[in-house]
Structure formats: structure tokens, C-alpha cells
Structure 1
């Protein structure tokens, strides 16, 4: 992992939302795309905050909140209570989002990012340049960097191509990144795992062929077994 920087690890094509996005739309977005967080940005791509799965779960749990007792209210901090109420009853991204987003520059080392995640107990950092969003580095990205072959430009290039293919897949609701794995070697993309239909198989090939750096596409997927897919 030594020598790798945030720009090498990050997912560059990040799904974002404007601050006025409704709660239900964000929940549907995270579920459909298979992602765990979404940055909130303004029209100039400046990062305003981030909404995570935990924020949405907290919002759902807030529906069961009960008024505190008179005794508890004596010792409660009104400012903290007000902030919690806004985040557990808000209806848009700007109400739920965490404004203090942990950010790094594109040239931040992988080791420093890992240290930040460990110390602050966070799952991801946002890569920014001049306050503008450039990408996200997650714990999974760091794990991939840990097992990646060291310091060989061709292999690093393959990893970048693989990440670009994965990013493109996550944008499409018909893909299944849980059952379909991606391998890239010498510019050749190979899909492993299972596919839901022949249409998905064809679309995956087209998707990969449109990613810069892809020289060839090999489909090694199998039809989804009935015991997984339920025959639907």
C-alpha cells in the first residue's frame, strides 16, 4: 500500500445529492445503488455534508421518540435536544447530513488515510480539491490497496480500470455487484459470478467496453441459480 495516494484509491464517479433532496429519495438511492453514504453538494460541487445509512436509520428510529420526563428535561442540553430533533425529524438532506465531513487532498497517502479512519472510527473520507468533491475513499478501497501488487504501473493501471468498471456498474440499477465480480488483467475485463439474464450479460459487456482503458471483455458469469434468485 506504500506509495498509493488518495487519487489512486478513490472512487471518482461519486453519487451526490443536492441539499433539498427528500429523505425517502436518499434512502431509495442508497438501496438501489448499493452504497452506504452520499455526499451533499451545492451547484458548484462544493461539499456541504454527507448522509450515511446511520443517519437514515436514526431518522427512522426518531419516529418512535417519546417526550422526555420533566426530571430528565431539567438536565438536558436544549441545543443538543434541538439538533437531535432536527436530524431525527428532518425531511431533506440538509436536515440529516453531518456537516463536519472528514476530507483529504488527492495527494494524501493511503497510510495517513488509514490512520485517520482508525483514530476517528469512520468508514470513509471525502477527497476534495479546493472544497470541490473529487472522490471518496472507503475502508474497502484501502483493503484492495493492501492486497494489490506493489509498484507496477501496468498492474496499477489494471486496478484503475477495474475501479472504473465497478463505479460504472454502481450507477446502473440493473447490475448486481454482490453476485458479479470484476477482474482486469492487461486491459482485459473478465466478469465472474452470476447474472440475472442474458440482457444483463449483454449490457455488462457494453458497459465495460465504454470504460477507457478496456481492451477486451470476457464474460465468465453463469445464470443465477434458482436457490439464490428464487426463480423470479
Structure 2
């Protein structure tokens, strides 16, 4: 079995300037343990996981609290990076810049081995250097027990799926850089779109889906939205 047979398409992606508070809310609402950070060109630049955010609750000892001798033994660059990740306010501050990825045609065993060796929960799936999906431990579990054993689709999941399917049919919509989340029938649109017209059209598109109670349109204009060639976890 190949990675592309197991991967979750439309991986959740966030812009580098998304506030940490919004990241926490997104992970909770989407029931995911990590998201990829992409720039306006759609290029993945990092990943933020639950571990990165939880670490902020109990940061490692600050170098300012160390004695004179201990402070001189600390690597300044590593200390600076640790400080930024513990106290940063944006995704770019707290993300890990080390991306582990596999090609879509790689065997599933390769993804499994990478997760085990690197002690991670997910690997990015790439096509020609572009992010097209993600394989997580949950995806590997589905391959073992079968997707039907994991429960029926919820109303919010149906709404999100319907929005994404309609977006894929529209040439102006960009599922790669537009984040769609749904909670209790409330649709939140975040990330990038190519123009103000596309932003308004996304509002209309979401409103047409049955079951939608309200739209929170927080899309920003992304200079490279029209050039993105891959689709979004």
C-alpha cells in the first residue's frame, strides 16, 4: 500500500502570522494534534504540534535565572530559539522548522518507519516539492481497522466536506491556503484568498451549504493565492 492510499488530503494549514490563541482553538475544534505552517506561496515552512503549545505551560528554565557559570555554558543560539518558542505570539515563533516528509508514491511502511524513528505523529506528503496531504498515526490505524469502524460522519464534518468539495469545483477557490473549520454549524474561514472578490464568493459558497448557521469570514488577501497549485489537513 502506498502513502497516497492512506493520506488525508486537504491537510490543515495555517499562515505564519496566525496568533497562538487561534492555533489552540483550531486544534481543539478540528480534533487534530498538529498543523502545517505555509507561506503565501503555499510552501510549507514548519509544523506546530500540541507538544509545542503545551511546552509553553511549563517552559524550560530561563537562562536569566542561571548562575554566572551556568550562563556561560549555555549555547546562546539554542537559548534564543527556546525563548522565542516559549514566549512567541505567532505560529512562526512556536513552530518547528524541521519538516519530515515522504513522496506520495512511497510505501506506507516508509511513513511508519519515519514516525517510529523520529518519534513523531505525522509526516507531510509531498508532490514535486509541494504539500498535498499528511499521513498520521490515525491514518495508519484506519488502514488496520477499516474506516467504517471509526464511526459515522458528524453534521459538522458533512458541512466541511461539502464546502471543500464545492471549492474544488471553483477555479477561483484555493483549498490549499483557505482553512475551513466548522463547530456547531458555525463555519470559520481563515487563511488566504486571492482577491476581495474571492473572499466574498467564499462567503456565498459557505452560506449555500445546508446546515450552516453562521459564517465567520476571516480570510486575508494572499499575494500568491492565485499561483498555488496544490490543494489542502
Q: 1:168 aligns with which of 161, 186, 189?
A: 161
Could you tell me how far apart the structure 2 residues matched to 1:140 and 1:26 are? 20
5+ residue gaps in structure 1? 150-154, 176-201, 205-232
What corresponds to 2:3 in structure 1? 6
Displacement of 1:63 after TM fit? Answer: 9.4
Could you tell me how far apart the structure 1 residues matched to 2:159 and 2:50 are? 21
Q: 1:117 aligns with which of 111, 115, 123?
A: 115
* Structure-2-length-normalised TM-score: 0.62
Q: 1:62 aligns with which of 59, 62, 71?
A: 59
**In structure 2, do the counterparts of structure 1 residues 63 and 72 end up closer, same or farther at CA, with 3 Å as the change threshold?**
closer
Paired residues in the alignment total: 165
Q: RCO higher in 1 or 2 (8 Å CA, sep ≥ 6)?
A: 2
How do residues 133-212 of structure 1 correspond to structure 2 at under 5 angstroms?
133-148=131-146, 168=161, 171-174=181-184, 203=211
Q: 1:84 aligns with which of 82, 85, 102?
A: 82
What corresponds to 1:187 in structure 2? none
What corresponds to 1:182 in structure 2? none
* Structure-1-length-normalised TM-score: 0.62
1:32 aligns with 2:25: no
Q: Which has the larger radius of gyration?
A: 1
